Amino acid sequence: MNSQDLERLLRSDETDRVEKTRAGTDTDKFGEAICAFANDLPGAGERGYLFVGANPDGTASGLSITDQLLQNLAALRTDGNLIPPPSMVVQRVALGGGEMAVVEVQPSVHVPVRYKQRIWVRIGPRRGMANPEDERVLLERRQARSTSWDMQACEGAALDDLALDLFTLQYRPRAVDRRVIDENHRPITQQLSALRLYNDRGTIGPTHAGVLTLGQDPLAFIPGAYVQFVRYQGQDKLDVVQERRVTGDLLTVLRGLDEIAVSLANERPVRDPLAERVAYDWPPATLHELFVNAVVHRSYLATAPVQISAFDDRVEILSPGGLFGMTPEDFPRATGYRNPALAEAARVLGFANRYGRGIDAADAALRRNGSAPLRFDVRTSFFLAIVERRP
Protein backbone atom coordinates (compact mmCIF):
# COMPACT_ATOMS: atom_id res chain seq x y z
CA MET A 1 0.00 0.00 0.00
CA ASN A 2 1.40 3.43 -0.91
CA SER A 3 1.42 6.42 1.43
CA GLN A 4 -1.71 7.94 -0.13
CA ASP A 5 -3.70 4.75 0.49
CA LEU A 6 -2.36 4.54 4.03
CA GLU A 7 -3.35 8.16 4.62
CA ARG A 8 -6.92 7.40 3.53
CA LEU A 9 -7.12 4.40 5.88
CA LEU A 10 -5.62 6.45 8.68
CA ARG A 11 -8.20 9.23 8.31
CA SER A 12 -11.12 6.79 8.39
CA ASP A 13 -12.71 5.52 11.58
CA GLU A 14 -11.20 2.36 13.01
CA THR A 15 -12.60 -0.69 11.20
CA ASP A 16 -11.74 -4.39 11.20
CA ARG A 17 -8.67 -3.39 9.12
CA VAL A 18 -7.35 -0.45 11.16
CA GLU A 19 -6.14 0.13 14.70
CA LYS A 20 -4.47 3.32 15.93
CA THR A 21 -2.44 3.83 19.09
CA ARG A 22 -0.56 6.86 20.40
CA ALA A 23 2.00 5.09 22.58
CA GLY A 24 4.93 2.95 21.53
CA THR A 25 5.38 0.78 24.61
CA ASP A 26 2.21 -1.32 24.97
CA THR A 27 3.59 -4.59 23.63
CA ASP A 28 0.54 -6.64 24.59
CA LYS A 29 -1.80 -4.23 22.80
CA PHE A 30 0.35 -4.51 19.67
CA GLY A 31 0.43 -8.31 19.88
CA GLU A 32 -3.33 -8.56 20.37
CA ALA A 33 -3.96 -6.24 17.40
CA ILE A 34 -1.65 -8.23 15.11
CA CYS A 35 -3.29 -11.47 16.27
CA ALA A 36 -6.76 -10.10 15.49
CA PHE A 37 -5.74 -8.92 12.01
CA ALA A 38 -4.14 -12.30 11.25
CA ASN A 39 -7.33 -14.13 12.27
CA ASP A 40 -9.43 -11.97 9.87
CA LEU A 41 -12.74 -13.03 11.41
CA PRO A 42 -14.85 -11.35 8.67
CA GLY A 43 -12.99 -13.46 6.08
CA ALA A 44 -12.40 -10.49 3.79
CA GLY A 45 -8.87 -11.62 2.96
CA GLU A 46 -7.58 -8.05 3.32
CA ARG A 47 -4.50 -6.88 5.19
CA GLY A 48 -4.86 -5.20 8.57
CA TYR A 49 -2.90 -2.12 9.63
CA LEU A 50 -1.66 -1.11 13.06
CA PHE A 51 -0.65 2.58 13.17
CA VAL A 52 1.69 3.25 16.09
CA GLY A 53 2.07 6.94 16.95
CA ALA A 54 -1.40 7.90 15.66
CA ASN A 55 -4.12 9.90 17.38
CA PRO A 56 -7.76 8.74 16.98
CA ASP A 57 -8.32 11.46 14.35
CA GLY A 58 -5.42 10.16 12.24
CA THR A 59 -2.88 12.84 13.06
CA ALA A 60 0.60 11.95 14.28
CA SER A 61 0.89 11.86 18.08
CA GLY A 62 4.50 13.04 18.05
CA LEU A 63 5.89 9.66 19.09
CA SER A 64 9.58 9.24 18.16
CA ILE A 65 9.74 6.37 15.65
CA THR A 66 13.15 4.96 16.52
CA ASP A 67 14.94 2.00 15.01
CA GLN A 68 14.52 0.25 18.36
CA LEU A 69 10.73 0.67 18.21
CA LEU A 70 10.66 -0.80 14.70
CA GLN A 71 12.82 -3.72 15.84
CA ASN A 72 10.55 -4.33 18.83
CA LEU A 73 7.48 -4.42 16.59
CA ALA A 74 9.16 -6.77 14.11
CA ALA A 75 10.23 -9.05 16.98
CA LEU A 76 6.59 -9.74 17.81
CA ARG A 77 6.55 -12.11 14.86
CA THR A 78 9.32 -14.31 16.23
CA ASP A 79 9.23 -13.99 20.03
CA GLY A 80 7.04 -17.07 20.40
CA ASN A 81 3.92 -15.33 21.72
CA LEU A 82 2.11 -15.26 18.37
CA ILE A 83 1.34 -18.86 17.41
CA PRO A 84 1.55 -19.60 14.54
CA PRO A 85 3.52 -16.50 13.52
CA PRO A 86 1.70 -14.39 10.90
CA SER A 87 3.22 -12.69 7.88
CA MET A 88 3.77 -9.00 8.61
CA VAL A 89 5.81 -5.99 7.52
CA VAL A 90 6.96 -3.11 9.74
CA GLN A 91 7.98 0.25 8.34
CA ARG A 92 8.43 3.91 9.26
CA VAL A 93 6.11 6.14 7.19
CA ALA A 94 5.51 9.90 7.04
CA LEU A 95 1.78 10.21 7.79
CA GLY A 96 -0.65 12.49 9.57
CA GLY A 97 1.74 15.44 9.65
CA GLY A 98 4.53 13.44 11.28
CA GLU A 99 5.97 9.95 11.43
CA MET A 100 4.35 6.67 12.41
CA ALA A 101 5.30 3.02 12.60
CA VAL A 102 2.97 0.97 10.41
CA VAL A 103 2.54 -2.78 10.88
CA GLU A 104 0.92 -4.46 7.88
CA VAL A 105 -0.50 -7.91 8.71
CA GLN A 106 -1.53 -10.59 6.22
CA PRO A 107 -4.57 -12.77 7.02
CA SER A 108 -3.26 -16.14 8.18
CA VAL A 109 -4.06 -19.44 6.50
CA HIS A 110 -3.40 -21.34 9.73
CA VAL A 111 -6.08 -19.84 11.95
CA PRO A 112 -6.80 -19.49 14.79
CA VAL A 113 -3.71 -17.47 15.64
CA ARG A 114 -3.14 -16.97 19.38
CA TYR A 115 -1.32 -14.27 21.29
CA LYS A 116 -0.14 -15.46 24.71
CA GLN A 117 -2.46 -18.47 24.47
CA ARG A 118 -5.57 -16.42 23.67
CA ILE A 119 -7.40 -15.88 20.38
CA TRP A 120 -8.05 -12.23 19.47
CA VAL A 121 -10.40 -11.04 16.73
CA ARG A 122 -11.85 -7.78 15.44
CA ILE A 123 -15.57 -7.17 15.19
CA GLY A 124 -15.80 -3.89 13.29
CA PRO A 125 -13.79 -1.27 15.22
CA ARG A 126 -13.59 -3.40 18.38
CA ARG A 127 -10.89 -5.88 19.32
CA GLY A 128 -11.68 -8.63 21.80
CA MET A 129 -11.23 -12.26 22.74
CA ALA A 130 -12.89 -14.78 20.46
CA ASN A 131 -15.99 -16.51 21.78
CA PRO A 132 -16.71 -20.20 20.96
CA GLU A 133 -18.70 -19.27 17.88
CA ASP A 134 -15.90 -17.05 16.56
CA GLU A 135 -13.47 -19.92 17.09
CA ARG A 136 -15.77 -22.32 15.24
CA VAL A 137 -15.82 -19.97 12.24
CA LEU A 138 -12.02 -19.79 12.23
CA LEU A 139 -11.65 -23.57 12.54
CA GLU A 140 -14.00 -24.21 9.63
CA ARG A 141 -12.09 -21.72 7.52
CA ARG A 142 -8.76 -23.32 8.41
CA GLN A 143 -9.97 -26.79 7.52
CA ALA A 144 -11.17 -25.52 4.15
CA ARG A 145 -7.71 -24.02 3.44
CA SER A 146 -5.40 -26.42 5.22
CA THR A 147 -3.02 -28.31 2.95
CA SER A 148 0.01 -29.10 5.10
CA TRP A 149 0.63 -32.78 5.78
CA ASP A 150 0.77 -32.44 9.56
CA MET A 151 -2.74 -30.91 9.71
CA GLN A 152 -4.33 -33.68 7.65
CA ALA A 153 -6.12 -36.57 9.35
CA CYS A 154 -3.85 -39.56 10.00
CA GLU A 155 -5.29 -42.58 8.22
CA GLY A 156 -6.35 -45.33 10.61
CA ALA A 157 -5.81 -43.32 13.80
CA ALA A 158 -8.62 -42.81 16.30
CA LEU A 159 -9.11 -40.79 19.46
CA ASP A 160 -8.17 -43.83 21.56
CA ASP A 161 -4.71 -43.77 19.97
CA LEU A 162 -3.91 -40.47 21.69
CA ALA A 163 -2.67 -40.13 25.26
CA LEU A 164 -5.42 -37.80 26.44
CA ASP A 165 -3.92 -37.45 29.92
CA LEU A 166 -0.82 -36.01 28.25
CA PHE A 167 -3.06 -33.51 26.49
CA THR A 168 -5.07 -32.41 29.54
CA LEU A 169 -2.22 -32.41 32.06
CA GLN A 170 0.77 -31.27 29.99
CA TYR A 171 -0.14 -29.85 26.59
CA ARG A 172 -3.38 -27.95 27.05
CA PRO A 173 -2.26 -25.93 30.12
CA ARG A 174 0.76 -24.70 28.12
CA ALA A 175 -1.24 -23.95 24.98
CA VAL A 176 -4.39 -22.31 26.33
CA ASP A 177 -4.89 -19.60 28.94
CA ARG A 178 -6.16 -20.99 32.27
CA ARG A 179 -9.23 -18.74 32.21
CA VAL A 180 -10.20 -20.14 28.82
CA ILE A 181 -9.75 -23.71 30.08
CA ASP A 182 -11.93 -23.01 33.13
CA GLU A 183 -14.73 -21.67 30.91
CA ASN A 184 -14.34 -24.40 28.27
CA HIS A 185 -17.09 -27.02 28.25
CA ARG A 186 -16.57 -28.30 24.73
CA PRO A 187 -15.95 -31.98 23.90
CA ILE A 188 -12.33 -33.11 23.95
CA THR A 189 -12.35 -33.56 20.16
CA GLN A 190 -13.20 -29.91 19.64
CA GLN A 191 -10.48 -28.86 22.09
CA LEU A 192 -7.94 -30.98 20.19
CA SER A 193 -9.18 -29.61 16.88
CA ALA A 194 -8.71 -26.02 18.06
CA LEU A 195 -5.02 -26.84 18.58
CA ARG A 196 -4.61 -28.59 15.19
CA LEU A 197 -4.30 -32.03 16.74
CA TYR A 198 -7.63 -33.46 15.53
CA ASN A 199 -10.01 -33.12 12.57
CA ASP A 200 -13.64 -33.12 13.69
CA ARG A 201 -15.06 -32.29 10.25
CA GLY A 202 -14.53 -33.99 6.90
CA THR A 203 -12.12 -36.88 7.47
CA ILE A 204 -12.52 -37.32 11.21
CA GLY A 205 -9.65 -38.35 13.43
CA PRO A 206 -6.31 -37.23 14.88
CA THR A 207 -4.10 -35.21 12.58
CA HIS A 208 -0.55 -36.33 11.84
CA ALA A 209 0.59 -33.60 14.24
CA GLY A 210 -1.78 -35.03 16.85
CA VAL A 211 -0.35 -38.53 16.47
CA LEU A 212 3.24 -37.27 16.62
CA THR A 213 2.55 -35.02 19.61
CA LEU A 214 0.18 -37.16 21.69
CA GLY A 215 0.25 -40.61 20.10
CA GLN A 216 0.62 -43.65 22.35
CA ASP A 217 2.48 -45.37 19.50
CA PRO A 218 3.27 -42.95 16.65
CA LEU A 219 5.30 -45.61 14.82
CA ALA A 220 2.14 -47.64 14.25
CA PHE A 221 0.96 -44.91 11.87
CA ILE A 222 4.12 -43.03 10.83
CA PRO A 223 6.93 -45.57 10.39
CA GLY A 224 9.79 -43.06 10.23
CA ALA A 225 8.78 -41.14 13.36
CA TYR A 226 11.89 -41.85 15.43
CA VAL A 227 15.50 -40.76 15.81
CA GLN A 228 18.42 -43.16 15.44
CA PHE A 229 21.48 -42.10 17.44
CA VAL A 230 24.84 -43.83 16.94
CA ARG A 231 28.16 -42.90 18.50
CA TYR A 232 31.29 -44.11 16.72
CA GLN A 233 34.89 -44.40 17.76
CA GLY A 234 37.11 -42.52 15.34
CA GLN A 235 36.12 -40.49 12.31
CA ASP A 236 34.26 -43.13 10.29
CA LYS A 237 31.45 -45.66 10.80
CA LEU A 238 33.57 -48.73 11.53
CA ASP A 239 33.42 -49.02 15.34
CA VAL A 240 30.08 -48.46 17.08
CA VAL A 241 30.39 -47.36 20.72
CA GLN A 242 26.73 -46.62 21.54
CA GLU A 243 23.31 -46.89 19.89
CA ARG A 244 19.96 -45.51 20.95
CA ARG A 245 16.58 -45.36 19.28
CA VAL A 246 14.48 -42.40 20.46
CA THR A 247 10.76 -42.78 19.91
CA GLY A 248 7.39 -41.96 21.48
CA ASP A 249 5.29 -38.81 21.70
CA LEU A 250 6.91 -35.46 20.87
CA LEU A 251 7.64 -34.54 24.49
CA THR A 252 9.36 -37.89 25.11
CA VAL A 253 11.40 -37.64 21.90
CA LEU A 254 12.59 -34.08 22.52
CA ARG A 255 13.48 -34.83 26.14
CA GLY A 256 15.45 -37.85 24.96
CA LEU A 257 17.33 -35.74 22.43
CA ASP A 258 18.22 -33.19 25.10
CA GLU A 259 19.68 -36.06 27.14
CA ILE A 260 21.84 -37.00 24.15
CA ALA A 261 22.92 -33.37 23.71
CA VAL A 262 24.04 -33.19 27.34
CA SER A 263 25.88 -36.52 27.09
CA LEU A 264 27.83 -35.31 24.05
CA ALA A 265 28.62 -31.81 25.33
CA ASN A 266 31.59 -32.74 27.58
CA GLU A 267 31.99 -29.55 29.61
CA ARG A 268 35.65 -28.68 30.28
CA PRO A 269 37.64 -25.68 31.52
CA VAL A 270 39.68 -23.65 29.02
CA ARG A 271 42.10 -20.81 29.67
CA ASP A 272 41.57 -17.42 28.11
CA PRO A 273 44.35 -14.80 28.34
CA LEU A 274 42.75 -13.27 31.45
CA ALA A 275 40.61 -16.00 33.01
CA GLU A 276 39.47 -19.59 33.01
CA ARG A 277 36.06 -20.37 31.56
CA VAL A 278 33.92 -23.34 30.58
CA ALA A 279 33.77 -24.68 27.03
CA TYR A 280 32.22 -27.75 25.42
CA ASP A 281 33.20 -30.25 22.77
CA TRP A 282 29.76 -29.48 21.32
CA PRO A 283 27.62 -26.77 22.98
CA PRO A 284 24.39 -28.38 24.23
CA ALA A 285 22.44 -25.29 23.08
CA THR A 286 23.63 -25.87 19.50
CA LEU A 287 22.75 -29.56 19.55
CA HIS A 288 19.36 -28.79 21.11
CA GLU A 289 18.43 -26.37 18.31
CA LEU A 290 19.60 -28.71 15.55
CA PHE A 291 17.91 -31.77 17.06
CA VAL A 292 14.59 -29.94 17.46
CA ASN A 293 14.83 -28.58 13.90
CA ALA A 294 15.51 -32.07 12.56
CA VAL A 295 12.40 -33.51 14.23
CA VAL A 296 10.09 -30.61 13.42
CA HIS A 297 11.10 -29.78 9.85
CA ARG A 298 11.81 -33.22 8.40
CA SER A 299 9.58 -34.94 5.85
CA TYR A 300 7.54 -37.66 7.53
CA LEU A 301 6.47 -39.04 4.16
CA ALA A 302 9.90 -40.71 4.13
CA THR A 303 10.12 -43.90 6.19
CA ALA A 304 13.72 -43.23 7.21
CA PRO A 305 14.37 -41.77 10.69
CA VAL A 306 16.34 -38.70 11.65
CA GLN A 307 19.91 -39.95 12.02
CA ILE A 308 22.36 -38.47 14.55
CA SER A 309 25.91 -39.72 14.12
CA ALA A 310 28.58 -38.71 16.65
CA PHE A 311 32.23 -39.14 15.66
CA ASP A 312 35.38 -38.12 17.51
CA ASP A 313 35.65 -34.92 15.47
CA ARG A 314 32.06 -34.03 14.52
CA VAL A 315 28.34 -34.63 14.99
CA GLU A 316 26.15 -35.11 11.90
CA ILE A 317 22.36 -34.62 11.94
CA LEU A 318 20.67 -36.04 8.84
CA SER A 319 16.99 -35.22 8.23
CA PRO A 320 14.82 -36.85 5.53
CA GLY A 321 13.52 -34.28 3.07
CA GLY A 322 15.30 -31.23 1.71
CA LEU A 323 14.46 -27.57 2.20
CA PHE A 324 10.78 -26.62 2.16
CA GLY A 325 9.48 -23.45 0.53
CA MET A 326 12.92 -22.07 -0.29
CA THR A 327 15.98 -22.69 -2.44
CA PRO A 328 19.48 -23.53 -1.18
CA GLU A 329 20.43 -19.96 -2.10
CA ASP A 330 17.74 -18.64 0.28
CA PHE A 331 19.01 -20.72 3.21
CA PRO A 332 19.54 -19.82 6.05
CA ARG A 333 18.11 -16.31 5.61
CA ALA A 334 14.61 -17.49 4.68
CA THR A 335 12.31 -19.73 6.73
CA GLY A 336 9.88 -22.39 5.53
CA TYR A 337 7.50 -24.51 7.61
CA ARG A 338 6.81 -27.97 6.23
CA ASN A 339 4.99 -28.93 9.44
CA PRO A 340 3.55 -25.73 10.99
CA ALA A 341 1.35 -27.55 13.53
CA LEU A 342 4.29 -29.66 14.71
CA ALA A 343 6.44 -26.53 14.99
CA GLU A 344 3.69 -25.00 17.12
CA ALA A 345 3.62 -28.09 19.33
CA ALA A 346 7.38 -27.90 19.92
CA ARG A 347 6.95 -24.25 20.90
CA VAL A 348 4.06 -25.05 23.25
CA LEU A 349 6.08 -27.78 24.96
CA GLY A 350 8.94 -25.35 25.56
CA PHE A 351 11.52 -26.75 23.15
CA ALA A 352 11.46 -23.87 20.65
CA ASN A 353 11.42 -20.31 21.99
CA ARG A 354 11.41 -18.26 18.80
CA TYR A 355 10.32 -18.95 15.24
CA GLY A 356 12.82 -19.04 12.41
CA ARG A 357 15.80 -18.48 14.71
CA GLY A 358 17.05 -22.04 15.35
CA ILE A 359 20.03 -21.93 13.00
CA ASP A 360 21.03 -18.45 14.20
CA ALA A 361 20.83 -19.58 17.84
CA ALA A 362 22.87 -22.71 17.10
CA ASP A 363 25.60 -20.70 15.37
CA ALA A 364 25.63 -18.09 18.14
CA ALA A 365 26.26 -20.81 20.75
CA LEU A 366 29.16 -22.09 18.64
CA ARG A 367 30.70 -18.62 18.45
CA ARG A 368 30.46 -18.19 22.22
CA ASN A 369 32.12 -21.58 22.62
CA GLY A 370 34.98 -20.76 20.25
CA SER A 371 33.90 -23.48 17.83
CA ALA A 372 33.89 -23.61 14.05
CA PRO A 373 30.66 -22.47 12.34
CA LEU A 374 28.01 -24.91 11.22
CA ARG A 375 28.37 -26.71 7.90
CA PHE A 376 25.47 -27.92 5.77
CA ASP A 377 24.90 -30.28 2.88
CA VAL A 378 21.48 -29.48 1.38
CA ARG A 379 20.01 -31.82 -1.23
CA THR A 380 16.51 -32.42 -2.60
CA SER A 381 16.04 -35.58 -0.51
CA PHE A 382 17.88 -34.76 2.72
CA PHE A 383 19.31 -32.02 4.91
CA LEU A 384 22.63 -32.60 6.68
CA ALA A 385 23.99 -30.36 9.45
CA ILE A 386 27.58 -30.88 10.64
CA VAL A 387 28.94 -29.61 13.97
CA GLU A 388 32.70 -29.82 14.42
CA ARG A 389 34.21 -30.65 17.80
CA ARG A 390 35.97 -27.77 19.54
CA PRO A 391 39.70 -28.51 19.72
d(CA 215, CA 162) in angstroms, rounded, equals 4
Residue 96 has pLDDT above 80, yes or no: yes
CA 91 to chain centre: 23
If you ran DSSP here, which 8-state letter would residue 215 be given?
B
pLDDT of residue 11: 87
Round to whole Å and give the CA distance between 189 and 232.
Answer: 45
- pLDDT tens digit sequence for 137-153: 888 777 666 668 999 99
User: At residue 151, what is the residue type?
Assistant: M
The predicted-structure confidence for 223-275, as pLDDT tens digits, reads as follows 999 999 999 999 999 999 999 999 999 999 999 999 999 999 999 888 776 67
Say if residues 349 and 174 touch (Cβ distance below 8 Å). Answer: yes
Distance CA 100, CA 93 (A): 6
Give the separation between CA 121 and CA 128, rounded to whole angstroms. 6
Round to whole Å and give the CA distance between 160 and 156.
Answer: 11
Q: What is the mean pLDDT of residues 313-324?
A: 92
Give me the mean pLDDT over the 6-20 stretch.
Answer: 87
- In the chain, domain spans: 3-128, 146-216, 227-388
3-state secondary structure of 359: helix
In this prediction, residue 192 carries a pLDDT of 95
Q: Would you say residue 355 has pLDDT above 70?
A: no
Note the pLDDT of residue 15: 81
Instruction: Give the CATH number of domain 227-388; options: 3.40.50.620, 3.50.50.60, 1.10.287.610, 3.30.565.60.
Output: 3.30.565.60
The percentage of the chain sitting over the pLDDT mark of 90, rounded to a whole number, equals 71
Structural fold of domain 3-128: 3.30.950
Residues facing residue 126 across a β-bridge: 123
Q: What is the DSSP letter of 304?
A: S
At 65 the pLDDT is 96
Over residues 280-318, the pLDDT tens digits come to 999 999 999 999 999 999 999 889 999 999 999 999 999
- Smallest Cα–Cα separation from 369: which of 283, 307, 298? 283
Q: What average pLDDT is seen over the chain?
A: 91
